[in-house]
Amino acid sequence: MEELLPYLLIVLVCLGGSFVQRVSGFGFGIFVMLFFPYLLASSPAAAAVSSILSGIISLYNAIRQRKHLQIRLVVPMLCAALITIPIAISFSKYAPEAVMKPLLGIVLIGLSIYFLFFSTRIHIRPTAVNSFIAGALGGTLGGLFSTGGPPTVLFLLHATNDKLVYFATIQAYFAMTNVYSTGVRILNGIITRETLISVAVGMIGCLSGNRIGSWAFDKLDGEKLKKIIYIGMIISGVLMIL
């Protein structure tokens, strides 16, 4: 029974992460990375499992909402992410765990403080330059910790004025960047048999969470849910640093 416990926890964590992503359009990587570093062998392994699962969920959602997709909005972001993702993944492969875990903690705390206090006060012009900058930052965070959503979400929230267009477009971006990230991780030898087993187990939770989130999309107070998650990010970040 003790041998199955980590896999059961992975299912529950993925259920929560996919639920959050379906309700808010992003957040799978942020949510699961609160827990994966404690359940998997290393931070790069945790990021790899998160990235693969996020890519699968995002691809599924993007295909379902493809009629609302505006791919032109993410072209500059994609170009930037294709550059920064390999650099970040290479760094994560060789950086010691004593560096990666506190660094992840700092990122989680920084992201949570931003979303709690500053996200509604910052307005980004939907220009190609800002799109490129968002993609570069997102690619860096995605390559390091599979938490590349916030910079790209911030840009697309200001570049779109329709909820479904935003959702479809951000899901397509996540799908493409996570597939690319997985390919880079394979070349770097980060994807192992244990990684694939964790992905297969996590898919059980992802499918369930995505279905529940789809039902709750118009019924749940997404803002309250996100505030709870951000507070959890601060606590987890502090623990990782300590």
Band of pLDDT at residue 213, cut at 50, 70 and 90: confident
How close are the terminal C-alpha atoms of the chain, in Å? 30
Q: Cα(79)–Cα(38) distance, rounded to whole angstroms?
A: 33
Band of pLDDT at residue 241, cut at 50, 70 and 90: confident
Give the residue extent of every domain in the chain: 9-35+46-241
Which of 198, 167, 240 lies closest to 13 in space, CA to CA?
198
Q: Cα(52)–Cα(241) distance, rounded to whole angstroms?
A: 26
pLDDT in tens, 83-96: 999 999 999 888 88
pLDDT at 180 over 90: yes
Alpha helices for the chain (secondary structure H): 5-24, 28-32, 36-39, 43-64, 75-94, 97-117, 128-145, 149-159, 163-187, 193-216, 222-241
Which of 13, 12, 31 lies closest to 21 in space, CA to CA?
31
Q: Cα(24)–Cα(226) distance, rounded to whole angstroms?
A: 8
Chain centroid, CA 73 distance in Å: 19
What the block records as the tokens of 198 is: 């964790």
pLDDT at 34 over 90: no
Determine contact, residues 79/73, Cβ cutoff 8 Å: no
pLDDT at 27 over 80: no
Determine contact, residues 174/149, Cβ cutoff 8 Å: yes
Q: Cα(202)–Cα(197) distance, rounded to whole angstroms?
A: 8
pLDDT at 220 over 70: no
By the 10 Å C-beta count (0-12 exposed, 13-18 middle, 19+ buried), 193 is classed as exposed
pLDDT in tens, 96-113: 878 887 888 888 788 888
